[in-house]
């Protein structure tokens, strides 16, 4: 760097290339899989939700519905966090599944 020049760093905002989605059948014991929405930057975190309420410990890329899920729709919220600045985040939620059946 030449004398008198300044180095500028920019915290890139994480972005989604697509809307997060869930594949699989909303049935007890059947695996649901989250697509992360093709993140273009940042680290990825997931939170599965039952009727809009976070399911404790359900943060993997897959979720297997249990009896407590019967009758409720399942969604997954994907949160992207900038690798340069942790306070720079963006979240998106999938469309809900059909109500979980037994």
Nearest to 102 by CA among 56, 59, 65: 65
CB 75 within 8 A of CB 47: no
Backbone angles phi, psi at 18, to 5 degrees: -155, 165
DSSP state of 63: E
Nearest to 36 by CA among 51, 23, 27: 23
CB 16 within 8 A of CB 80: yes
Per-residue pLDDT of the chain (102 residues; tens, 9 = 90+): 567 666 554 546 667 778 899 999 999 999 999 998 766 666 889 999 999 999 999 999 999 999 999 999 999 999 988 767 667 788 999 999 999 999
Locate the domains of the chain by residue range: 21-93
**How much is the pTM?**
0.81
Longest dimension (CA), the chain: 70
Question: What CATH class does 21-93 carry?
Answer: mainly beta
């Amino acid at each position: 760097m030449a004398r008198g020049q300044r180095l500028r760093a920019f915290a890139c905002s994480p972005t989604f290339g697509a809307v997060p989605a869930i594949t699989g059948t909303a049935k007890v014991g059947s695996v649901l899989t989250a697509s992360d929405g093709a993140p273009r930057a940042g680290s990825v975190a997931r939170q599965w939700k039952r009727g809009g309420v976070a399911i404790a410990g359900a943060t993997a890329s897959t979720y297997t519905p249990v009896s407590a899920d019967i009758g409720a729709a399942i969604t997954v919220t994907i949160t992207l966090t900038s690798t340069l600045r942790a306070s720079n985040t963006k979240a998106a939620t999938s469309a809900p599944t059909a109500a979980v059946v037994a």
